[in-house]
Amino acid sequence: MKLPITPSFRLNGRRALVTGAGRGIGLAAAAALADAGALVTIVARSTEEIDAAAASIGKATASATLDVTDLDGLAAFFASRPAFDILVNNAGTNRPMPMQDVTEVDFDAVIGLNVKSAFFVAQGCVRRMLADGRSGSLIHIGSQMGHVGGQNRSLYCASKWALEGMSKAFALDLAKVGIRSNTIAPTFIETPMTSAYFEDPAFRTSVLDKIKLGRLGTVEDVMGAVVFLASDASALVTGSSIVVDGGWTAD
């Protein structure tokens, strides 16, 4: 009897780009891809932070200072490099507050980075893939808040629901050229961006009450999903979302 061969999770020789990679989920994603054999380029706005992140990962990881809200800078970045096979579209922000308190400045900051920049990062990556005749995988870091609502999260929910819709549309546009597009939707992950929120005991308790596995997420919880979606193990997965939420959205 001939047994099927398990698809490889290895990424040897593949080129990967991770945005917002100086810390948190972005740094973890970059480390996971490098461990799987990818040649990783990490970008963020802070030169010092991104250089330190690249040094900590090692394994021929490259770094570049890049503000993904600067569309001219983004175009120049992709024009100066060969195509990437993998994108982890991770750069993002949050401004939690009641919807009645949101200003236009708040709206533009969150939607501008989480939606507009994410769109044009993906577009720049795809255009270079097409020019070089490459297939590949687009991985967008969304949130469970792209599947449910959340108190004081109107802007964040709006942006992450938009990201889910964008990714599905990308998947349909790009399927014929072999480029897949998916999201990863984590629950609350303990990172430098979220740590201050959990200093409030009431907020921490309210979050843990909704995570059925009874703990906050860690960046390690996201790393496996990143490698899966980047690899041949997910060759038939596109237009989908891996929800890493400990059961939050199952209720």
Block residue for tokens 């044009």: 120
Q: What's the CA gap between 147 and 161, in Å, rounded?
A: 7
Block residue for tokens 């992950």: 189
Query: Where are the alpha helices (H) located in 112-145, listed in sequence order?
Result: 118-131
Question: Phi, psi at residue 140, to the nearest 5°?
Answer: -105, 130
Over the range 122-145, which residues count as b (16 or more CB within 10 Å of their CB) and which as e?
Answer: bebbbebbeeeebebbbbbbbbbb
- Choosing from 156, 161, 170, 248, which is the catalytic residue? 156
Over the range 16-32, which residues count as b (16 or more CB within 10 Å of their CB) and which as e?
Answer: bbbbbbbbbbbbbbbbb
Closest CA to 226 of 163, 167, 183, 174: 183
Closest CA to 16 of 88, 63, 86, 81: 86
Closest CA to 93 of 75, 68, 72: 68
197 catalytic per annotation: no
Query: Catalytic positions, please?
Result: 156
